[in-house]
């Protein structure tokens, strides 16, 4: 019976129902909507095992959640007399059940909710938390665990987002096409953030890391399937997600340690993901725009297509990092370009690029900066400087897995 429902049925139903109800009664009621959806899911767990599973579980959930929500809105209206009567009447009359086979409709509603989350009055970190809560169906504890932050912090971010949604005027739910187009970059950036939170996470469970990546891919694919979001940038974003996802499993050794790119068994890379990534990349190569997602997908594609670490087309990687620096200036991209140059032209040229560069404090204090300098100096034979950076890199490594990989790399002999 459970098999029929799919592995993430409850979580995805949560997102679907929140989005559908938000479209019908307004996103400003998001808290009541979430309560209603929670009640419907709990009712399902309580009643479904006792009888047979409803023929259309999604429709069953929708109608239970809808009734709960309408009842609650009525109760509030009676008490507070705040909600205009016609609004309620409408809510009741125009809350139709999901029509069979109209998957496209649900996708529209998920997208509308995603765009609602990306209100520019909401800080990006709050947007991300709001999307994880309402569209992905994670609760506060699960979000805190996935974003490596405290539950109190998640609550705070969520409250900020909800406050903003509650302030929205009654007619704010219908975003104009200009508004929607204007929010597209924010939507893409939140999906990118969602993906990297999973991909770069040092969480001990691969399943948990993968989950965020899968959610990002799922929502990005819905975005790419809608005329509103079907732009070359979205395609490039999907390309980079798939090309990174292809290598998730191979980044780990059997014991949970991290493997460096040159240590990875390339036969473990997921060829299906690579193919998907390459076809999205091909679709992204249209129009005038070359976005940061294009540059990042290009880098990922070079790695995925290289038969070995040594045979990587480093000049292409360098070129893409240079483009990325121009599109999204960050000392981190310069650092990455230095690494690629070192592979292409030797460590001295890599070092030369970093010379005189004043990294921002967040980067200067991170293990990445120290590790790259330790590695390049070591390979240039500057033993003492290399040792100093090595200490600092190992000291600031965020996890034992990272520390282990650094040690293997930095304790090699000079080139």
Q: Which contacts qualify for 80-86: CB closer than 8 Å, 24 or more apart?
A: none
Does 155 contact other proteins by CB under 8 A? no
Q: Is 298 in the site for other proteins (CB under 8 A)?
A: no
Nearest to 313 by CA among 324, 301, 325: 301
- Which candidate, 31, 8, 7, places its Cα nearest to that of 21? 31
* Cβ neighbours for 13, distance < 8 A, ≥ 6 positions apart: 41, 57, 58, 61, 137
Residue 11 in the binding site for other proteins (CB under 8 A): yes
Q: Which is nearer to other proteins, 138 or 314 (CB)?
A: 138
Of the pair 9, 290, the CB lying nearest other proteins is at 9
Residue 209 within binding range of other proteins, rule CB under 8 A: no
Choose one: 4-12, 24-32, 149-157, 404-412; the region binding other proteins (CB under 8 A): 4-12
User: Is the distance from CB of 89 to CB of 81 less than 8 angstroms?
Assistant: no
Stretch that binds other proteins, among 38-46, 184-192, 361-369, 401-409 (CB under 8 A): 38-46
Rounded alpha-carbon distances, angstroms, from residue 226 to 105, 110, 345: 11, 11, 44
123-131, 135-143, 215-223, 257-265 -> range binding other proteins (CB under 8 A): 135-143
Residues 399, 209: Cα–Cα separation, whole Å: 15
Gap between the Cα atoms of 35 and 285, Å rounded: 44
Residues near other proteins (CB under 8 A), total: 23
- Taking CB under 8 A as the criterion, the residue among 78, 99, 141, 205 binding other proteins is 141
Task: Based on the shown chain and the rule CB under 8 A, indicate whether residue 207 belongs to the binding site for other proteins.
Answer: no
Per DSSP, the residues of 218-245 read HHHHHHHTSTTT-SHHHHHHHHHHHHHH
Does the footprint of other proteins cover residue 2 (CB under 8 A)? yes
List 20, 22, 27, 44, residue binding other proteins (CB under 8 A): 44
To other proteins, the closest distance from the beta carbon of 249 in angstroms equals 22
Q: Nearest to residue 238, comparing CAs of 250, 259, 222?
A: 222
Phi, psi of 205 (to 5 degrees): -95, 120
| Cβ closest to other proteins, residue 209 vs residue 379 | 209
- In angstroms, what is the minimal distance from the CB of 412 to other proteins? 43
Scanning 5-13, 167-175, 215-223, 400-408 for contacts with other proteins by CB under 8 A, the matching segment is: 5-13
Tell me which of 4, 45, 52, 178 binds other proteins, using CB under 8 A.
Answer: 45
Output 58 or 334, the one with its CB closest to other proteins.
58
Rule CB under 8 A: say whether 73 interacts with other proteins. no
Contact between residue 148 and residue 119 where contact means Cβ atoms under 8 Å apart: no
Q: Provide the token pair at 260.
A: 């460096």
Distance CA(45)–CA(38), nearest Å, equals: 11
- What's the closest the beta carbon of residue 58 comes to other proteins, in angstroms? 14
**Could you tell me which residues are beta bridge partners of residue 252?**
258
- Residue 10 within binding range of other proteins, rule CB under 8 A: yes
Phi, psi of 231 (to 5 degrees): -115, 160
As a whole number of angstroms, the distance between CA 331 and CA 269 comes to 29
CB of 41 to other proteins, least distance (A): 5
Nearest distance, CB of residue 38 and other proteins, angstroms: 6
Instruction: Compute the least distance from the CB of residue 7 to other proteins, in Å.
Output: 8
Nearer to other proteins, 153 or 396 (CB): 153
The set of residues, in sequence order, having a beta carbon less than 8 Å from that of 371 and lying 6+ positions away, is 389, 393, 406, 409, 410
- How long a stretch of residues is the chain? 415
Applying CB under 8 A, which of residues 30, 41, 69, 191 lies at the interface with other proteins?
41
Nearer Cβ to other proteins (108/139): 139
137 lies in the site for other proteins, by CB under 8 A: yes
For residue 48, state whether it binds other proteins (rule: CB under 8 A): yes
Q: Is 8 in the site for other proteins (CB under 8 A)?
A: yes
Spatial separation of the C-alpha atoms in residues 22 and 386, rounded to whole Å: 56
Instruction: Determine, following the binding rule CB under 8 A, whether residue 215 of this chain makes contact with other proteins.
Output: no
C-beta of 15 vs 98, nearer to other proteins: 15
Residue 215, both tokens:
């959610």
Alpha carbons 134 and 33: distance in angstroms, whole number: 10
Contacts with other proteins, residue ranges (CB under 8 A) = 1-2, 5, 8-11, 13-14, 38, 41-42, 44-46, 48-50, 137-139, 141-142
């Amino acid at each position: 019976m459970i098999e029929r429902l799919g592995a993430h049925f409850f979580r995805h139903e949560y997102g679907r129902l929140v989005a559908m109800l938000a479209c019908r009664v307004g996103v400003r009621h998001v808290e009541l909507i979430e309560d209603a959806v929670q009640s419907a899911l709990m009712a399902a767990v309580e009643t479904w095992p006792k009888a047979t599973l409803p023929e259309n579980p999604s429709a069953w959930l929708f109608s239970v959640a809808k009734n709960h929500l309408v009842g609650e809105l009525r109760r509030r209206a009676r008490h507070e007399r705040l909600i205009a009567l016609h609004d309620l009447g409408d809510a009741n009359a125009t809350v139709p059940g999901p029509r069979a086979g109209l998957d496209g409709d649900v996708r529209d509603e998920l997208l509308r909710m995603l765009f609602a989350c990306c209100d520019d009055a909401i800080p990006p970190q709050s947007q991300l938390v709001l999307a994880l809560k309402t569209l992905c169906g994670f609760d506060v504890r699960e979000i805190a665990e996935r974003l490596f932050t405290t539950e109190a912090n998640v609550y705070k971010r969520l409250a900020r987002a909800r406050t903003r949604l509650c302030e929205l005027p009654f007619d704010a739910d219908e975003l104009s096409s200009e508004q929607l187009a204007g929010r597209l970059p924010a939507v893409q950036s939140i999906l990118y953030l969602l993906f990297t939170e999973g991909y770069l996470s040092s969480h001990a469970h691969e399943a948990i890391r993968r989950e965020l990546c899968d959610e990002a891919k799922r929502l990005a694919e819905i975005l790419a399937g809608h005329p509103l979001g079907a732009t070359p940038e979205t395609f490039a974003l999907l390309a980079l997600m798939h090309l990174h996802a292809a290598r998730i499993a191979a980044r780990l050794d059997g014991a949970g340690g991290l493997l460096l790119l040159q240590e990875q068994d390339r036969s473990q890379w997921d060829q299906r993901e690579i193919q998907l990534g390459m076809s999205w990349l091909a679709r992204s190569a249209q129009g005038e725009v070359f976005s940061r997602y294009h540059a990042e997908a290009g880098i990922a594609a070079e790695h995925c297509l290289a038969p070995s670490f040594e045979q990587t087309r480093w000049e292409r990687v360098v070129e893409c990092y240079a483009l990325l620096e121009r599109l999204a200036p960050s000392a981190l991209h310069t650092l990455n370009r230095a690494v690629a140059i070192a592979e292409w032209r030797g460590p001295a040229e890599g070092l030369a690029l970093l010379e005189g560069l004043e990294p921002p404090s967040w980067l200067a204090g991170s293990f990445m900066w120290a590790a790259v300098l330790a590695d390049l100096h070591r390979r240039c034979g500057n033993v003492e400087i290399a040792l100093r950076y090595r200490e600092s890199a190992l000291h600031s490594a965020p996890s034992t897995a990272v520390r282990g990989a650094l040690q293997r790399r930095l304790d090699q002999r000079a080139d």
